[in-house]
Amino acid sequence: MNQLLLSLAQLAMAVVLSALAAFLAFYLLQAFTRKLNAWHGLQQGNTAIGIVLGAAVVSVAIVLRPALFVDTTSWDVGSALIGKALLAQAVQLLVGLVSAVVTLALALLIFAGLTRGIDEIEELRKANVAVAALLAGVVIGVGVMVSQAMAHLMAALSALIY
């Protein structure tokens, strides 16, 4: 019964923090595109902005996926298992979320610095879907590459919490 309660509590926490992650991914795009009002662009139907924003949400989810798993099989905490596991998951998700946002922001800044011939923000403003697809690929690619490192970080963090 404890395992079922733990699983349901972890699911609820994951849903809430996933919504927060999607919201923060939107603000990641806003931080990267200071000269561009992404919300206004979405309201106007700018597909390019929608593509990049969607990629940011997917990438944050890819990076956060390892943070959802807390291995409690070796823990010997008795009735405190649920509380301890939920605390571990919350800490892992928080660290993972901050890491995902910082990692993606850095990757976008580095990419923008390397592509000086293209003003990505202006191209998104003009609804350039080709540039949006390129940025989406960069964002998702970074998420896939960072997720493995995140899994190792989460394992180390979980060991510290226990």
Listed residue (20, 157, 160) closest to 101, CA to CA:
20
Give the integer Cα–Cα distance in Å for 32 and 71.
35
Can you spell out the DSSP letters for 102-140? HHHHHHHHHHHHH-TT--HHHHHHTT-HHHHHHHHHHHH
What is the rounded (10 degree) CA torsion for 109, 110, 114, 115? Answer: -30
Tell me, what's the pLDDT at 32? 66
Residues of the chain with pLDDT under 70: 1-3, 29, 32-33, 70-82, 161-162
Domain parsing of the chain, residue ranges: 2-161
Instruction: Give the span between the Cα atoms of 46 and 41, in whole angstroms.
Output: 5
How much is the pLDDT for 141? 94
- Decide if 84 contacts 69 (C-beta within 8 A): no
Nearest residue to 94 via CA among 157, 148, 140, 31: 157
pTM for the whole thing? 0.79
Task: Give me the pLDDT at residue 25, please.
Answer: 75
pLDDT (tens digit per residue) in 126-162: 999 999 999 999 999 999 998 888 888 877 777 776 6
pLDDT at 130: 96
